[in-house]
Structure formats: structure tokens, C-alpha cells
Amino acid sequence: MINRKKIYNPSSQESVNERRIFGGNPTSIFELNKIKYQWAYNLWKVMLANSWFPEEVNMTQDKRDYSDGLTPEEKIGYDRALAQLIFMDSLQTNNLIDNVNPYVTSPEINLILVRQAFEEALHSQSYAVMVESISANTDEIYEMWRTDIQLRNKNDYIANVYEELAVNPTESTLLKAMFANQILEGIYFYSGFAFFYTLARSGKMLGSAQMIRFIQRDEVTHLLLFQNLINSLKKEMPHLFTKDLIDEVIEMFREAVRVESAWGDYITQGRILGLTSEIIHEYICYLADNRLTRVGLPALYNARHPIKWVDAFSSFNEQKTNFFEGNVTNYAKGSINFDDF
């Protein structure tokens, strides 16, 4: 079992070099004049520079598109994709604050987990702005996590690993939850994102796609956060990375690829131009390989990126022509390079 950190701990004499990702004995004072995990403090600054507000995205055309421009299949896909995102950001906000952060004993890492949780809450608000602005199917979309069996099954699976940590907090359930985080942020969001970008590429729901761009830019920092946590833990607590645990993690990734590919089929229903089952599956495999190799694990699929246009389409830095929103460039405060962390 691992213990939650004390929130007031004046008897601690822990020095900066003695800080641990978990299992430390912190004073719980944010002594940020001394930093052990420099990547965390660097990331904090990037996260702050990414600040944005959902109300600033212009959604007026989306309302018209949703009522007049979308095919029935596109509408169903839109509702399903949104319902899934609503669930995941709700889960993440609570998971980070109530499940993961209590065990993390480095103040600079607590700092970025709190910021991440704030961003997940902001994403929840952005879905509310999207649902309100299309002003149709509002309650249905918010009820889908309960009423849609496919969504329910997917969510049950996602929540399960986090639940394991909640009922049995050990070093290995915490580490597994960190890998689960990579899967959630790095795989489970992406069929939904690709769906919104595909609609936007055909000129529909441009405000929604813009909202998703802001959200995805945040998610990139969240991926980096947990990628660095896992890679730092490898050095700090190598004994946790047993063959059994790694086998379990690899099986989690394989199952995630199955679950997300099936979900992609469910939201597109084989009726969305440019997003076939094969493309979705290959894209998900490509993402899984990328997430695995970032934490030093072998690629499982050797998949190629089948929809490279998504990367440019989702990035503010490559939206130089600024064809969606007048104010986009105000937010683009610099690019982020995975290799800097």
C-alpha cells in the first residue's frame, strides 16, 4: 500500500534532492525556488502560455451547420463523439485530483497535475459551450454515457484501471494508472478528434473543430506530463518495471486499440468520407506505437500514419493562413517540441 501525502507536515526535513515522485515525505510547501524535476516546471510554463477560453470560439455557424448542413449520420457521429469526450474529461478531472495527485510527493509535479485538472475542467466547459450552441439534442448528448450501450462498455473499460488504484493504492496500481493515462490522453481521444477534423475539412462545424484544436493542444502537454512521470520513475524506481507489469501494460495498449477502433467505427458508421474502418484502425495503431516508444516500450504494430493531414490541420502553428478564426494567432505562443522534455 502507498500512503497519501500529508497536506501539512512541519516535521519533514526532506531536502530537494530527496524529493520523490511518490513515497516521499514532503513538507507540502510549494518551495519552487528549489526544483528537482525541471521538466515539470518547464511544462508548467508551457501550460500557462496555452491559456484559452471556450467562449472565445465563434460557434454561430455551427448551429446552422448542425441543423441544415449535416447528414443524419454526421449528426449521430457528432453526438456520439461529443458524449465520449464529455465522459473522459469528467473522469480525468476527478481522477487527477482525487486519485493520482494525493500520492504524488513532489511539489513541482503537484503543480502541473492541478493545472492539468483545471484544463480538463475547462474542456468540460467547452463541451457545454458546443452543446449549448448547437442547441439540439442537449439532454440526449449528456445522457448518452448512461443510455448508449457501446459508450457505456467503453467507459467501463477505461474507468476500470483508475478504479483499481482507488480501491487498492499500491506502487504498481499507481504506475498502471499512469500508463492508463497515456492511453486515455493519447489514444481514446483521437477517433473523436479525427471525426471533428474530418467534418471541418469538408467545411462543416468549423467552430467545433477550432474548440477541439485548443483542447488537443492541452492534451499534448498532458501526454508529456505522464510520459515524463513514467520515464523519471524508471530511473527512480526501476524495480517497479517488472516483466509482469510491462506485459500487463502492453495488453492494456492492445485492448485500447481494439476498443478505440471499434468506437471509431461506431461514430463514423462507415458513412463518413475519408474515415474508413481501415484508416481509423491504422491511425489508432500508429498512435499506440508512438505512445509506447515514447516511454521506451517496443512498437506493437509498425503502423504508418494514414491521415497525415490531421497533424497540420490540428496544429495552430501550421494554421498560418488563419482561415478559421481571426484571433487564433493570439494564442499561438510558441510550439512545443516533445524532445525538449
Nearer to Fe ion, 70 or 99 (CB): 99
**Residue 115 near residue 108, CB atoms below 8 Å:** no
Nearest to Fe ion of 62, 219 (CB atom): 219
The nearer residue to Fe ion, 185 or 325, going by C-beta atoms, is 185
Which phi and psi (to 5°) does residue 104 adopt?
Answer: -85, 125
The DSSP line for 219-251 is: HHHHHHHHHHHHHHHHHH-GGG--HHHHHHHHH
Applying CB under 5 A, the site for Fe ion has a residue count of 6
Looking at 19, 80, 123, 281, which residue binds Fe ion (CB under 5 A)?
123
How large is the C-alpha radius of gyration of the chain? 20
Segment interacting with Fe ion, rule: CB under 5 A, options 42-50, 81-89, 98-106, 146-154: 81-89
We find the least distance from the C-beta atom of residue 41 to Fe ion, in angstroms, to be 19
User: Smallest distance from the beta carbon of 298 to Fe ion, in angstroms?
Assistant: 25
**Selected catalytic residue, list 127, 162, 188, 283:** 127
Contact criterion met (CB below 8 Å) for 19 and 105: yes
Rounded to a whole number of angstroms, the minimum distance from the CB of residue 208 to Fe ion is: 15
Q: How far is 41 from 303, CA to CA, in rounded Å? A: 34
Residue 188 CA to residue 182 CA, distance in Å, equals 9
- Least distance in Å: CB of 225 to Fe ion? 9
Q: At what angle do helices 277-294 and 190-201 cross, to 10 degrees?
A: 130
CB 328 within 8 A of CB 319: yes
Please list the residues that pair with 104 across neighbouring strands. Answer: 22
Nearest-angstrom CA–CA distance, 86 and 125 = 9
Here's the x/- map for Fe ion, 288-307, by CB under 5 A: it reads as: --------------------
Give the binding range for Fe ion (CB under 5 A) out of 115-123, 137-145, 229-237, 278-286: 115-123
Q: Is 127 one of the annotated active-site residues of the chain? A: yes
What's the burial of 184, exposed, middle or buried (CB within 10 Å: 0-12/13-18/19+)?
A: buried
Part of the chain binding Fe ion (CB under 5 A), chosen from 18-26, 45-53, 116-124, 130-138: 116-124
Q: Which stretch binds Fe ion (CB under 5 A): 7-15, 88-96, 236-244, 293-301?
A: 88-96
Among the residue ranges 32-40, 60-68, 119-127, 163-171, the one whose residues contact Fe ion (CB under 5 A): 119-127
Query: Of 89, 108, 289, 325, which lies in the binding site for Fe ion, with binding defined by CB under 5 A?
Result: 89
By CB under 5 A, the residues from 186 to 245 that bind Fe ion are 219, 222
Residue 123 CB, shortest distance to Fe ion, in Å, is 4
The residue written with cell numbers 500500500 in the block is 1
Cell representation of residue 30? 510549494
> Among residues 36 and 222, whose Cβ is nearest to Fe ion?
222
Interacting residue with Fe ion among 62, 65, 120, 260 (CB under 5 A) = 120
What does each C-alpha distance from 165 to 1, 90, 122, 259, 336 come to in angstroms? 10, 17, 25, 21, 31
Residue count of the chain, please give it.
341
Residue 185 vs 260, nearer CB to Fe ion = 185
Interaction residues for Fe ion, span 5-64 (CB under 5 A): none
Residue 80 found at the interface with Fe ion (CB under 5 A):
no
Shortest distance in whole angstroms from residue 185 CB to Fe ion: 5
Instruction: Please report how close the Cβ of residue 198 comes to Fe ion at its closest, in angstroms.
Output: 20
CA distance 125 to 91: 14
Interface ranges with Fe ion (CB under 5 A) = 89, 120, 123, 185, 219, 222
Return the active site residues: 127
